[in-house]
Each structure stands twice: as structure tokens, then as C-alpha cells.
Homo-oligomer: A and B are copies of this chain.
Amino acid sequence: MRRSSAQTKAGILAAARERFAADGYERATIRAIAAAAGIDPSMVMRYFGSKDGLFAAAAEFDLRLPDPRDLPRDQVGATLVRHFMHRWEADDALQILLRTGVTNQAAAERLRTVFVTQLTPTIAALTGAAGPLGQAESRAALVASQILGMALCRYVLRLPPAVTMTDDDVVAWLGPTVQRYLTGDAPAT
């Protein structure tokens, strides 16, 4: 055979990740993705069924959060921030979800489930059995707001000061914030 189906499938997926991450869902066209993969557009349909199917495959991913019980309790915030930054830069899928979750319903749902279902148990494990689960959910949302916000400014909007900052700067500034969202006392309201 000239090429294995797995090879071209992987090639399409790689090209799709690049285009989705750069252009978002609507502006990334199947024709452009196929061209980047050096293949006919109809091959994309053959392997992934539809544009939605291709997107679902391209946006597949895992936060790979570490177990917080393995970490010194007072450094869990900084560690988590650093972990996320590595994850952002290693895997396009997070940028894809962020860029498309804003207009695409399915991507928004994916982002929601990823952050709620993967972050909440991590936090629940940290706070222990004490405290209601609802608190863990709120804390997860707060952490997500800061983490996603920085990713938005740094990788998507490319806000100059956010881009210029070193990774260490970001960890030093955001670490205490996330630490407080995770382990700090709930403020009286």
C-alpha cells in the first residue's frame, strides 16, 4: 500500500489540530485541513464522517492533573499553575477548546465537563471529606476562571505584557491566588 490508513488519519488529525487552534471552528475549513495534510477533502469525510466528527477527535484530551495529596499542601497552588502552563504548551487541544468553546456548543460542553469533572474531585481530595461538595465545585470554578483567563490573555489574545512575562513570573503571581481558591477560608458574604 502507498500509505497506511493510520498514517493519513494521524496526518489529518495533526493538520486539523493546527487549523482549529489557529482559526477556530468555523474558519477552519475541511478543504484547508485536507490541503495541509496533502490529501483530498473527501478522505476527511471517509475517516471522520463529518466536520463535527473530526472536531470531536481533534479536541480529545485530558488535563492529567497530579494527585494533590502527593504535594506539600502549601505549594499546591503554584504546582497546579505550573502544571497547567506546561499542559497548554504541550497540547493544542486546550487552545482548540478555548478558541472554539466560545462559539461552538459542543466545545463549550466539553470544556465544562473537563474542568468540572477533572478539577472538582482533585479539590475534594485536597479539602478532604470535610466541607460540602458544593464548595469544591465553587472552588473549581474559581480556579478555572483564573487559569483560563491567563491562558486567554497569554495564548489567544496575546496581550503583550501577559506574553512577555516569564513562566516563573506567572507562577509567582497566580500561585497564591490559586492556593487561596483551593485551601483558603470561604469569605463571609
Interface residues of A (CB under 8 A from B): 23-24, 26-27, 98-99, 101-103, 108, 111-112, 115-116, 134, 137-138, 140-142, 144-150, 152-154, 156-162, 164-166, 168-169, 172-174, 176-177, 180-181, 187-189
Contact = CB atoms under 8 A, between A and B. Distances in A.
A189 B171 CA distance: 9
Given A103-B27, A146-B146, A187-B173, A141 B153 contact: yes
Q: Is the contact region of chain A dominated by helix, strand, or loop, or is it mixed?
A: helix
Contacts of A148: 149, 152-153
B168 A141 contact: no
B145 A162 contact: yes
Contacts of A142: 173-174
A169 B109 CA distance: 24
Contacts of A166: 189
Given A27-B103, A98-B102, A103-B23, A153 B144 contact: yes
Contacts of A27: 26, 103
Contacts of A157: 101-102, 108, 111-112
Contact of A103 (B26, B137, B161): B26
Contact of A160 (B102, B116, B153): B116
A180 B176 contact: yes
A153 B161 contact: no
A165 B187 CA distance: 13
A181 B162 CA distance: 13
